[in-house]
Amino acid sequence: MVFNSLTYLLLLIIVVSLFWLFSQKAKYFLIFFSSLTFYGFWRIDFIPLLLFSTFTDWWLSQKIYKSNEDVFRKKLVILSLIINLGLLFVFKYLIFF
């Protein structure tokens, strides 16, 4: 989906309309699923990759929040960075090497 397409305009109108009707917690799910829909119109085969990255970061953020040790928190942040930058490297820059 391209930002200047009719499909995007329709998605935008639907999402903005629903955004004002939903509760605060439901708004997060609306934004999440509308983002997946937006990227799915471009390349549906990247949806599992996006879900993997999202849930990995969510899980690590929960572990960081619950941890009391600063060293362990830093290791989890570094792990998150390695995963996300590793995905970026594999899908964007590996072709150069």
pLDDT tens for each residue of 26-75: 999 999 999 999 989 888 998 999 999 999 999 999 999 999 999 999 99
- Residue 4 has a pLDDT of 84
49 lies in the same domain as 85 = yes
Model pTM?
0.78
Q: Using alpha carbons, list the distances in angstroms from residue 20 to 6, 35, 85, 86.
A: 22, 17, 35, 37
In the prediction, which pLDDT does 85 show? 95
Residues 38 and 50 reside in one and the same domain: no
Rg (CA), the chain: 17
Q: Are 68 and 34 in contact (CB under 8 A)?
A: no
Quote the pLDDT of residue 49.
92
List the domain range (segments joined by +) for residue 77. Answer: 44-97
Reading the block at residue 45, the tokens are 């085969």
Q: Does 97 have pLDDT greater than 90?
A: no
Count of the separate structural domains present in the chain: 2
